[in-house]
Amino acid sequence: MKSRRQLTIIACCVLFSLGTARAAETPYDLVLRNARVVDGTGNPWYRADIAIRGDVIARIAPSIDEPATRVVDIGGLVVAPGFIDLHTHAMRGIFLVPTADNYVRQGVTTIMEGPDGGSPVPLKPFLDKLAALPKSLNIGSFIGQGSVREAVIGLANRPATAEELERMRGIVRDGMRDGAFGMSTGLFYVPGNFTPLAEVVELQKVVAPFRGLHTSHMRDEASRVIDSVKETIAIGEQGGVPTQISHHKIIGKSYWGKSVETLKLVEEARARGFDATIDQYPYTASSTSIGAALLPQWAQEGGHQATVQRLKDAPVRAKIKSAIADSIRDERGGGDPANIVVSICDWDAKLAGKNLAELTVARGQAVNIDNAAETTMWIVEQGNCGGVFHAMDEQDLQRIIRHPATMIASDGTVPIFGLGAPHPRSYGTLARVLAVYVRDKKILTLEDAVRKMSSYPAARLGLTDRGVLKPGMKADIAVFDPATVKDMATFEKPHQYAVGFPYVIVNGKIVYENGAMTAERPGRVLYGPGAGFASR
């Protein structure tokens, strides 16, 4: 006669066998057959089938013949983890275009908001609104130091008082508990530029217990780029947080080649045990507002109306004009007003696509740097415009992109198709890396490029369930043809979607298939490691 313990063991075995049988009988939702798997780790690709059940990768094997609701023969194309773009300004358009076609069509399945020191404050209402939005991809956010400072101090050029600093700490703490992945800084922009190092460090100390990340648009990417990299690293080291240099670049011909020194600073930091990394977009032009790029920061104190008042004071106007001329000559303008192009202009849409030289001629003036500075001030007085600035060097770009500490991020937006003349990075960044820097120039291997766009940013953000193709991970997947993938967007014609991606899958659902977005909206809000830790 069997003991109670033996009977219990037998019963458990029977239940396990039944459960296993039932699992085997349960069909997969989707099987991708004949895939060339580039799994995101940087390891060499291999041939396999991939099975998905629900929102998870259920199995990867040389051959999967079990039942499936749908089977797609990939025909030897590359199957990679969905790309993670950890530096976007998607807030500007995600509620108008929740499908984010420009990103999905180049294999992006997760985007991050709140870079460059700018984010909604407080953060929770924004994340709640995003959570309620039916969307095609995943989205998370940083809390922006500049926005926190503006909420407490405004756009004043002075250090914070002890009471103000404590209020800022509280906002940052709340942001981390609400789900921010860290705190971004935009020390190039007002009011971030008015913030001393010690104040930034104190706020990053709030982020540190939540295991958040510091990303930074540095104070300067031209004449003071070396000092700016040093400061960016110092913020992280003193604040106790890993640090990422955002959209790393060298602006201005006089400073081209400085990436040799900036990358050495990153290497030295990593050698002494500090976690410093980089992200980059693969273009030799930057983009921001014309006023922010060309006017000195002191002239922007107090906001637009205060700036306009300063421009009415002749001696102050002359001082601002001189600083603008210096920037056109030596930095953002690359020595030629034609290098500065209006991207979008709310007060006159017809200006989009016109460069500063053309606008100067239209105002009845000869094209020279001083007159272009006058045109710049006129643009700011009318209400400012977005701009694209051609002032970077391909050699710096290639040196940075091949560095092992560099990952890829677009710094783009979710544009309204056909509106304005935005930087093509919003439509082409990820595809351009695969087309130009893998296939054409062979600067990167296919596997390393995918790593820089998937597992590397996932690890940087602390996303443990995305970024790599393996069983148990979320089924965020990009399928592409390495022979035909291409960024179609150009500076002249930016509103063109990338090609070469027949399928994009988010949380197990196909959101893009053979040239068209589907009706699926499986995107989710992702929350940082501090979400819900009210006791901290």
Q: What is the mean pLDDT of residues 253-267?
A: 98
Coil, strand or helix at 204: helix
Q: What is the pLDDT of residues 505-529, one digit of tens each?
A: 999 999 999 899 999 999 999 999 9
As a whole number of angstroms, the distance between CA 374 and CA 412 comes to 29
Residues 183 and 220 in one domain: yes
Q: What is the pLDDT of residues 337-396, one digit of tens each?
A: 999 999 999 999 999 999 999 999 999 999 999 999 999 999 999 999 999 999 999 999
Residues 223 and 239 in one domain: yes
Q: How many domains does the chain have?
A: 2
Strand order in the sheet with 138-141: 83-85, 108-113, 138-141
Residues 183 and 305 in one domain: no
Q: What is the pLDDT of residues 387-441, one digit of tens each?
A: 999 999 999 999 999 999 999 999 999 999 999 999 999 999 999 999 999 999 9
Please say whether the beta carbons of 508 and 524 come within 8 A.
Answer: no
Coil, strand or helix at 244: strand
Residues 267 and 298 in one domain: no
Residues 369 and 404 in one domain: no
Does residue 89 belong to any structural domain of this protein? Answer: no
Does residue 377 belong to any structural domain of this protein? Answer: yes
Q: What is the pLDDT of residues 89-131, one digit of tens each?
A: 999 899 999 999 999 999 999 999 999 999 999 999 999 999 9
Residues 382 and 332 in one domain: yes
Using the 8-state DSSP alphabet, how is residue 221 labeled?
Answer: S
* Final residue belonging to a domain, choices 364, 390, 416: 390
* CATH number of residue 222's parent domain: 3.20.20.140
- Beta strand residue intervals within 206-347, DSSP E: 213-217, 243-245, 276-280, 285-289, 340-342
User: What residues contact 360, with CB distance under 8 A and at least 6 apart?
Assistant: 337, 366, 367, 371, 372, 374, 375
Residues 205 and 301 in one domain: no
**Letter for the amino acid at 284?**
T
Please say whether the beta carbons of 218 and 187 come within 8 A.
Answer: yes
Does residue 386 belong to any structural domain of this protein? Answer: yes
Coil, strand or helix at 362: helix
Using the 8-state DSSP alphabet, how is residue 267 labeled?
Answer: H
Q: Domain range for residue 168?
A: 145-245+247-284+399-408
